[in-house]
A and B are shown apart, each in its own frame.
Chain A
Amino acid sequence: MANMLANIFGSSPVKPLEKHIEISYRCAKQLHGFFRAAVSGDWDTAASVRRDIEALEHEADDLKKEIRLHLPKSLFMPVPRQDLLELLLVQDKIANRTRDVSGLVLGRKLEIPASIAERFLDFVDRNIDAAKQARKSVRELDELFTAGFRGAEVDLVQKLIEELDRIETDTDDKQAALRAALFKIEKSLDPVDAVFMYQVIELTGEIADMAERVGRRLELLLSH
């Protein structure tokens, strides 16, 4: 039996959004193991991690569709529906970039030059840190809703976003240094590999960019 009092509450997007960033982060986190395997030339392990990445990316995609489906225009929410949908979109892109970069590396069995391997792995981990900080910020969403987007909770989220920005700046610095290091040795590499290596660095760096954009979207919610 349908009941009007039960139906008056649209399905809340808050918990699903928190779950979605959780999946996106777990997806990005796989890059840690993936690139370690790739650097050591263990392509079997890399392929198996890549399957996990694909599964998680699918999961994030399905949840994204699910959330969109349950967010009809007739919903009355404390924040604009559009802002939530855009937050969802950038959260999803964290998983997408993870899938893209791992696919590119595995598809070409791209060898990461030993002289920059250490620096590169450090760069990857910092990007994962950014995704983790994005997750930490989005996890405050239900508290934000409860507190009506004001007061101490807003300050707390703003601090989390500031930290996210610092991490992202850090990845930018690391990215520039990594590119410079690659430039020094590019002549010694296979030219095609060198081109793709630049692209891998670019794509990996976008994970932190997307994480930062999650922060920007959250900030927009705060300003309402």
Chain B
Amino acid sequence: MDQQVVYITLAALFGMFMAWGIGANDVANAMATSVGSKALTIKQAIIVAAIFEFLGAVLAGGEVTSTIRKGIVDTDLLTGTPELLVYGMLAALLAAGTWLFIASRNGWPVSTTHSIVGAIVGFAAVGIGVDAVQWGEVGKIVMSWIASPLTAGFIAFLIYQSVQRLILSQEDPLSRAKRYVPVYIFFAAFTITLVTILKGLKHVGLDISLRDSYVLAIAIAVAIALVGAYFINRIEADPKAEKKEHFVTVERVFGILMIVTACGMAFAHGSNDVANAIGPIAAVVSVAQNGAISAQSALPLWVLVLGGIGIVVGLATFGRHVIATVGKNITHLTPSRGFAAELAAATTIVIASGTGMPISTTHTLVGAVLGVGLARGIDAIDLRVVARIFVSWVVTIPAGAFLAIVFFYIFRAVLP
């Protein structure tokens, strides 16, 4: 009994540390585009992030959590020695958390997802045995890391091209924007709602048929689009500001859209990245409670809630500063461009969440930004920084793995 309490307490502690780190750092990237383009103030961004991160984690975070929890390590090999899985998952959490902490202090661009996956593969391959890793599944995850920025970039490219053609290059961009922006709002809301209903709701005990899911998603999206249209129609052109820059009012219309995509981005991030913290907790809790590894055990809802709370706390304590810093530096990502990047990234991430693929939010967002850039939407992109991000892709995985192996051996020696 005592042993179980120790395991669960440690898992909760390490998991909260990790979730706090995600909230402090990762969420800021997801929200900063909205702050930078002045669609939201920092305070509003934090409120939006808190609500939608939490909803994303609880409603749609189940699939990725289950991948992290039991998709990477072949638990069949551990039926005799379930405590190894506990040590390993604790080591992975601490390793990823530590690595993220070191990396953030030094300003290295790293991904929470890459570090936790690297850490789990590391402890399993070295601590247990090469066969303990489900290499097929790991291969799929690595493929998704390549595919997700490409997909987001492609979608962002198409979205921004359509914005240029339909609105920005037209004679009267304002009336065009008022007409088309609600349509974009509809698509943003529809994609995210649909994936949530299809993939997420069964984790909270709701089961809806496929046809009803579509009907419900369309209904919700139409409702959101109508609310958006109401606010858009209230926007009046300011002739004085217009004289100096023609797109001022148009950008304000896109600002409304960006509030919607910011919610979507926070939701998507919560649905994917929260699993990095709570997947391992869930694995530990399940072993500790049952005394054995059971593949059937459901994900306890309180674990999802715990992860959601950790992220929100990280955001409130530390994330606001990061949002402010990043937001200040990306002011020329105006709402018309920022929304395209956010919508593309959010769509890609939510779909990945639905299929249980743990991908990097930040890398996906970077891919989306590059997509907007390729559509001639961004004044200047520094390719050196892009190159550094690609290097960090590779470095983070062995770093997480190495730390996890060290912690694994320590835990095996120290813990009961």
B381 near A76 with CB under 8 A, answer: yes
Query: For residues 359 through 384 of chain B, which have their beta carbon under 8 Å from a beta carbon of chain A?
Result: 362, 365-366, 369, 373, 375-384
Complexed CA–CA distance, A139 and B244 (Å):
8
User: Nearest-CB distance from B242 to chain A (Å)?
Assistant: 11
Contact string, B186-218, partner A, CB cutoff 8 A, digits 1/0? 000000000000000000000000000000000
Take A8-B386, A146-B334 as given contacts and tell me if A153 and B169 are in contact as well, using a CB distance cutoff of 8 Å: yes
Closest to B388 in A: A4
A8 near B389 with CB under 8 A, answer: yes
A13 near B326 with CB under 8 A, answer: no
Query: Counting CB contacts under 8 A, is A55 at the interface?
Result: no
Contact string, B155-189, partner A, CB cutoff 8 A, digits 1/0? 00000000011001111010000000000000000
A77 near B246 with CB under 8 A, answer: no
Closest to A152 in B: B171
Among candidates A1, A76, A146, residue contacting B380 with C-beta atoms closer than 8 Å: A76
Contacts between chains A and B (CB distance < 8 A), count = 129
Closest to A6 in B: B329
For chain A, what secondary structure do more than half of its interface residues adopt (helix, strand, loop), or is it mixed?
A: loop
A142 near B245 with CB under 8 A, answer: yes
Residues of B within 8 A of A139 (CB): 244
Residues of B within 8 A of A10 (CB): 379-382
For chain B, what secondary structure do more than half of its interface residues adopt (helix, strand, loop), or is it mixed?
A: helix
Closest to A14 in B: B379
Residues of B within 8 A of A77 (CB): 379-381
Query: Counting CB contacts under 8 A, is B336 at the interface?
Result: yes
Chain B contact patch, size range? 35 or more
Among candidates B170, B171, B247, B377, residue contacting A148 with C-beta atoms closer than 8 Å: B377
B375 near A7 with CB under 8 A, answer: no
Complexed CA–CA distance, A182 and B105 (Å):
72
Query: Counting CB contacts under 8 A, is B128 at the interface?
Result: no
Residues of A within 8 A of B385 (CB): 4, 7-8
Chain A contact patch, size range? 35 or more
Among candidates A6, A75, A149, A153, residue contacting B381 with C-beta atoms closer than 8 Å: A75
B365 near A5 with CB under 8 A, answer: yes
Query: Counting CB contacts under 8 A, is B332 at the interface?
Result: yes
Take A146-B336, A148-B164 as given contacts and tell me if A9 and B169 are in contact as well, using a CB distance cutoff of 8 Å: no
Take A3-B29, A5-B365, A147-B164 as given contacts and tell me if A78 and B376 are in contact as well, using a CB distance cutoff of 8 Å: yes
Nearest first, the 6 closest Cβ-Cβ pairs linking A and B are A151-B169, A2-B107, A4-B109, A6-B329, A12-B379, A10-B380
- Which residue numbers of B lie inside 8 Å of A, CB to CB? 28-29, 32, 104-105, 107, 109, 164-165, 168-171, 173, 244-247, 322, 325-326, 328-330, 332-334, 336-337, 362, 365-366, 369, 373, 375-386, 388-389, 392
Listed by A's residue number, 10 A-B pairs whose Cβ atoms lie within 8 Å are A4-B366, A5-B29, A5-B326, A6-B328, A8-B369, A14-B332, A75-B380, A78-B377, A145-B376, A148-B377
